[in-house]
Amino acid sequence: MCGRLSQYSGIHDFVATLSMPNALINYAGDQPFELYNAAPSAQLALFHQEGQFLRADMVRWGWRPHWAKDCAAPINARVEKVARGAFFKAIWPHRAIIAINNWFEWVDEGGPKKQPYLIRRKDRAPILCAAIGQYPSAEFGPSEYDGFVIITADSKGGMVDIHDRQPVTLNPELAREWLDPATPKEHAEQMVLFQGEPTEVFEWYPVGRAVGNVRNRGPEVIAPTPVEGGTT
């Protein structure tokens, strides 16, 4: 999965998709985020469950353990290794959901530059990506070490032509189960290994190369662009 995504809806749109029955503890604000071209290290709205409540905080995209000072903070974690390796051991129990509108990938189509594509759900609903992280809670306030990573898996079906990896996305029912602290860690691992959403729920189209520059932050970066031989 490439390191660029959009999170432009408001927190309540994402909450409605999750359909959590209890109240929201909201530290992310009520206005639309309007993040059309979010890159690693961006502060993004992240959900986790605190007791019976859903909590939303703005958390940095990217995390590394305190002892790994000489490496860049990863933004993704491979589903095949995340539950077993030492690197993410400290945050594997801290499950979260990053709700996004879409993500971007770059495809080599034989031209002088790679062609960026936007991937979104066919029904335009928010995408609920499985994540783990270090984030604020009732017990611990915000910290300079806070951050999260998105869990990724091998792409399947037609999405293989776009990129060989994709985020593990969950339907709302499984997303709620993933967030529930009562869900055993072993079961959570099986969920992200085998119960991610199928490729068929997604669609993709080419967008302009302006998305490659993080300074381009407006809604124009998600607009379809003409491709050779026709238009989208």
- Within a domain: 203: yes
- 67 assigned to some structural domain: yes
Mean pLDDT of the chain: 95
More confident residue, 12 or 232: 12
Determine, yes or no, domain membership for 228: no
Kindly state the average pLDDT of the residues 138-146: 93
Residue 208 and residue 210: Cα distance in Å, rounded?
A: 5
Q: Is residue 227 part of a domain?
A: no
pLDDT at 155 over 80: yes
- Name which of 13, 221, 206 is nearest 111 in CA terms: 206
Active site residues: 2, 105
Q: What is the C-alpha separation between 224 and 208, in angstroms, rounded? A: 7
Q: Is 40 exposed, middle or buried (0-12, 13-18, 19+ CB in 10 A)?
A: middle
Count of structural domains, the chain: 1
* CA separation for the pair 210, 215 (Å, rounded): 9
**CB 62 within 8 Å of CB 149:** yes
The gap between the terminal CA atoms of the chain, to the nearest Å, is: 23
144 occurs within a structural domain: yes
Q: What is the CATH number of the domain that holds 18?
A: 3.90.1680.10
State pLDDT tens for residues 67-83: 998 889 999 999 999 99
pLDDT, tens digit, 9 for 90 and up, residues 160-177: 999 999 999 999 999 999
In the structure, what pLDDT confidence band is assigned to residue 228 with cuts at 50, 70 and 90? Answer: low
Write out the residue range of the structural domain in which residue 180 sits: 5-222
Give the pLDDT confidence score for residue 22 in this predicted structure.
Answer: 86
